[in-house]
Structure 1
Amino acid sequence: MRSFWDSFIMLFIVLDSIGNIPIFYSLTSNMEESSRKKVFAESIIVASALLIFFALFGYSFFQYYNVTFMDFKIAGGLLLLLISLEGLIGRVEAETLRSEDVAIVPMATPLLAGPGSIYVVMYLSTVYGVLPTLLSIALNTIIAYFILVGSNHIIQKIGKNTILVLARIFSLLLAVLAVSMIRSGLEDALRQVLKGS
């Protein structure tokens, strides 16, 4: 139980489902309620699959393809930056978005199953074992789904105009997060180069 509890808490903090609520809503704000729930469900399923995969085969995958966490950070950051810039300048209209446009990228990855959560499940699998890690992934992703679905009723009461303003604000915050991920990845790469020289 201690192993499960520790792994659950650590993954819950890294997934940050509550912190992702505004960003997720801004990406789906003009969708119908049923479509929004479908997008949330798809993103949770894909994120769960990714986390389970990396919990079981993460180290083997990284070694085989010679991929590093800094690669994940830089690629995920660039992806988020492009999406946030489109949101800021208003080029992405929800009417033109299909559920698969946002459910997998950026919602499932890199927002939920990003470099941080991937690293954590690999770490948890090594330290606490596979079973506690898989249980914590299952429980955390179920909780994340209900948090996201339940948040719609609260945010909808704010009003459409307020949502439009918030969408721009959170697109800016998403851009900041993206730049932070890119910077962190580049710093890791620079440290590795300096260490090797």
Structure 2
Amino acid sequence: MNINFEQIMTVTMILFAVIDILGSVPIIVGLRSKVGHIQSEKASLVAAAIMISFLFVGEFILQLIGIDVNSFAVAGAFVLLFLALEMILGISIYKDEEPKTASIVPLAFPLIAGPGIMTSILSLKAEYDTINIVIGILINILFVYIVLKSSDKIEKVLGQGGLGVIRKVFGVVLLAIAVKLFASNVKGLFV
């Protein structure tokens, strides 16, 4: 086990930007107003289980279908690029139907542990130690739980403008991460 504080911080920030739980507060508040109670504990635990499971079996699944980690990391860089553009420009490239209930399905997947996070986890695995990624996931899940529990208060404190600014800042961070991920893995495609 090679626990590295710098790797943990980097992984945590990357996953935080991709999950974008603060940017999702308006969606969470909307779900809560439509269906009442949101099961914060259950949603957080299921999202953690999805992310950690994918960290360990995702590479096996890729090998099964004949894709190497570098190719997946480059593809992940493109997904992160589009997510970043959505956050920065305030547009929606990926369209999803509006959920009817606030059960595990809209919250744990795809809102918290969606396709972007899956791609990011496997891309991170190409560069960072697994233990540091697991710790980064757990830190993010703790933060997700806190945000789910106090989404109404967060929205009142930050307002729509504050949430918008946070979303754009993390969009720029995510864009830089996508460029770095692409640059560090594209060489591996031609070896």
When normalised by structure 2's length, the TM-score is: 0.63
The one-letter code of the counterpart of 1:25 is I
Identity score, percent: 14
Deviation at 1:23, TM superposition (A): 5.4
Give me the whole-angstrom Cα distance separating, in 1, the residues matched to 2:161 and 2:20: 17
Aligned residues of 1:80 and 1:106 also touching (Cα < 8 A): no
Aligned counterparts, 1:58-73, within 5 A: 58=59, 64-73=64-73
CA distance in 2, matches of 1:53, 1:14: 22
Q: Distance in 2 between matches of 1:9 and 1:62?
A: 29
One-letter amino acid matched to 1:116 = L
Offset from partner CA, 1:168-190 (integer Å, 9 cap, x none): 22222222222221222223334
Counterpart-to-counterpart distance in 1, 2:13 and 2:66: 30
Aligned ranges 1:108-187 → 2 under 5 Å: 108-111=117-120, 113-117=121-125, 120-121=129-130, 137=134, 141-151=137-147, 153=150, 156=155, 157-187=157-187
* C-alpha distance in 1 between matches for 2:173 and 2:160: 20
Structure with the higher helix share, 1 or 2? 1
Greater Rg over alpha carbons, structure: 1
TM-score normalized by the length of structure 1: 0.61
Contact 1:80 1:174 survives alignment (8 Å):
yes
Structure 2: any 5+ residue segments left out of the alignment? 33-37, 100-105
Alpha-carbon spacing, 1:160–1:76, altered in 2? closer, same or farther (3 Å): same
5+ long unaligned stretches in structure 1: 125-132, 193-197
Aligned counterpart in structure 2 of residue 45 of structure 1, from 44, 49, 54: 49
* Residue 32 to residue 51, structure 1, CA distance change in 2 (3 Å): same
Q: Is the 8 A contact 1:46 1:108 kept in 2?
A: no
Give the Cα separation in 2 of the matches to 1:8 and 1:95. 37
Does the residue aligned with 2:114 lie in a helix, a strand or coil?
A: helix
- Paired positions, count: 169
Equivalents in 1 of 2:96, 2:25: separation in Å?
10
Q: Pick closer, same or farther for the CA change 1:140–1:168 going to 2, 3 Å.
A: closer
1:12 positional shift: 3.8
**Rounded Cα–Cα distance in structure 2 between residues aligned with 1:168 and 1:36:** 28
- Does the Cα contact within 8 Å between 1:44 and 1:108 map onto a contact in 2? no
Q: Distance in 1 between matches of 2:71 and 2:14?
A: 26
Instruction: Using the TM superposition, give the Cα deviation of residue 26 of structure 1 relative to its aligned residue in structure 2, in angstroms.
Output: 4.6
- The one-character-per-residue Cα deviations of 1:76-124 (angstroms, maximum 9, x if unpaired) are 011111222223332239996553444343453234x232236633xx7
After superposition, the Cα gap between the structure-2 partners of 1:43 and 1:188, relative to the gap in structure 1 and judged at 3 Å, is same
CA–CA separation in structure 1 for the residues paired with 2:178 and 2:14: 18
Query: Superposition RMSD on alpha carbons, in Å?
Result: 4.0
